[in-house]
Structure 1
């Protein structure tokens, strides 16, 4: 009988200290300790983030073992996020993972954060259809730091087809939220107030971007100029139209994403699409992609359950498991990186 491998995954790329333990593809524990302090500053403060990771990581690991009901000597390998992300935060996770690996004499497995978001779909029952996407498929990664369309031909054979030329979609939502008067993180607030809004009330200009790339900076400027113009005439414009504004903003962003993915399916002939990243938890975006599959029968859409959409340790652990099965071990001398690197 094949041995059931147990992997611990450590994620510390931004402001979530996340630790997960999986056995084969089943999650035994998935601990996330969030850093609330960044709300006071309107965004993540790198120095504070790294200090809090240092404070929280031992607690997160203890909780992960407690809920998984296993002992440290049962772990077969340790995986951790090597990048991209905030370098100080990454160093905390890397240092702990290296020490853990050396202390137990087990393999070390480095993980690309973006790749892990996509591979989260291979956790058992990780998406709303409770099924794994078949290769090849298109991955749409939408988060606070990344917006990319990726052709996925195998677990570790991925090619970027399109990327954002400026702001990521999550970053754009947070910046637009500030215009509306919301505190960080603003994306969830836009979604909350959009629920009772008319998404057709306001129309904004879609950026004209070649090929499969994205640009959200121009959209943000268009919305800012529109609101400033309206507010000059009526100081209470935002307050009176908040729900409609939020709904209209969400609609155009979802449409931009959907149109680009549609172009990618035509270009590649691949009609299986897997959403991932924190912004894929947005209900408007999820619903728009689900609606498309009802009109376009050849499309298959895979949408992660919300606990696996945002940054989490399970996505790091599953990527580590897949590398472990292929014996793709890493050196103790690896160095974290902040900027995105090719797969």
Structure 2
């Protein structure tokens, strides 16, 4: 009989629980967001996020079990995000999962959130072979990894300042166009002309690292110039968003192609919340086709923070013999690639 795994995710502002089986079939994947709570602040407030997790986690886990048609007695393994993320938020899900496992006398494993994104493609019917290149793009991370198996991840490049998702959020806040910033900027960009404004790309010579702080500053200065000229019309904002998004996408795509070719890898996987961006997906598909690379695009629900990927990554840790310890604690920074 196949194992049944309960996954719990609470690294930032989404309280999530999922149930999968040992064959990576997703039986339930429930996410409770906090956008309405944080919108007035234009970003996540850690203390509020922690309190919201406390209020939601029991109901979210119960709903995941209900949707999966399972009870706690059916669960064979519990996995929870151990880090990276907001410490207060992480503690809620991690301690809840650990206490649940202890009370049920079930094994418990902590999961690096990044490994969940790196392996999220295995939740899909079409799965990549090892080794492959993974581009992880989210609010807190922009990085390229070589993935050799379920537990060996080699960091090839990372952002030196702002993550791509963080840059999207900051631009949305600057333009006062709504929260969360990434989806709003993307919607505005769909109505704009990406060639109207010339914005910089930080190529960093031959490095596979990323940098988006200069692009963010250039966009901010351009917006100030438009405002001074009384030219900050709605169409100008659409065009500015489109130009900004195009600059981010171009760097992400070209660096990914370069990394795949440097590592002699023919399979590319993307993950993280920003990987749900439609412009990024279209451009990656176009460039991968030109470069004869095989692209794997997880469903948007498996790109953003979710517990199904945590359950799968936890299963791989457990099968690999890493059963964790009751004394394990959370961590704020990813340990992968160090």
Same fold (TM over 0.5): yes
Instruction: Tell me what 1:342 maps to.
Output: 336
Tell me the distance in 2 between the aligned counterparts of 1:243 and 1:313. 34
Q: Which residue of 2 is the match for residue 228 of structure 1? A: 224
Deviation at 1:248, TM superposition (A): 1.4
Task: Name the SS for the 1:237 alignment partner.
Answer: coil
Q: Which of the residues 304, 315, 318 maps onto 1:321?
A: 315
Distance 1:29 1:208 in 2: 41
1:202 corresponds in structure 2 to 197
Any idea what the Cα deviations from partners look like across 1:299-337, whole Å, max 9, x if unmatched?
Answer: 011111111010001011111122222232010100100
SS of aligned partner of 1:154: coil
Per-residue Cα deviation, 1:196-227 (whole angstroms, up to 9, x for no partner) = 22221222011242410001111100111122
Q: How far off its partner does 1:230 sit?
A: 2.6
Match among 114, 119, 126 for residue 131 of structure 1: 126
Pick from 305, 311, 317: which aligns with 2:305?
311
User: C-alpha separation between the residues in 1 aligned to 2:185 and 2:98?
Assistant: 40
CA spacing shift, 1:255–1:68, aligned 2, 3 Å: same
Provide the C-alpha distance between the structure 1 equivalents of 2:226 and 2:193, rounded to a whole number of angstroms. 18
- The yes-or-no answer on 1:186 pairing with 2:165 is no
Q: Where do residues 265-304 of structure 1 align in structure 2 (5 Å cutoff)?
A: 265-296=260-291, 298-304=292-298
Provide structure 2 residue ranges, at least 5 long, that are not aligned to the other structure. none
In structure 1, how many angstroms separate the alpha carbons of the residues matched to 2:191 and 2:44? Answer: 30
Counterpart check, 1:121 vs 2:128: no
- Is the 2:288–2:294 contact (alpha carbons within 8 Å) kept by the matching residues of 1? yes
Which residue in 2 is equivalent to 1:88? 88
Q: Does 1:22 align with 2:16?
A: no
Q: Is the 8 A contact 2:132 2:148 kept in 1?
A: yes
CA drift at 1:228: 1.2
Shift of 1:238: 4.3
Moved more, 202-211 or 83-92: 202-211
Question: In 1, are the aligned partners of 2:121 and 2:128 still within 8 Å (CA)?
Answer: yes
Matched, 1:156 2:155: no
Partner of 2:235: 240
Task: Assess if the C-alpha contact under 8 Å between 2:276 and 2:303 holds in 1.
Answer: yes
Deviations 1:33-91 (A, max 9, x none): 11120111110000010111011000001101111101211111100000000000011
Give the TM-score, by structure 2 length. Answer: 0.96
CA contact (8 A) 1:180 1:238 kept: no
Cα separation, 2, equivalents of 1:155 and 1:339: 20
Q: Deviations over 1:140-163 (max 9, x none)?
A: 000000000000001100010000
Instruction: Measure the CA separation in 2 of the matches of 1:332 and 1:299.
Output: 43
Normalising by structure 1, report the TM-score.
Answer: 0.95
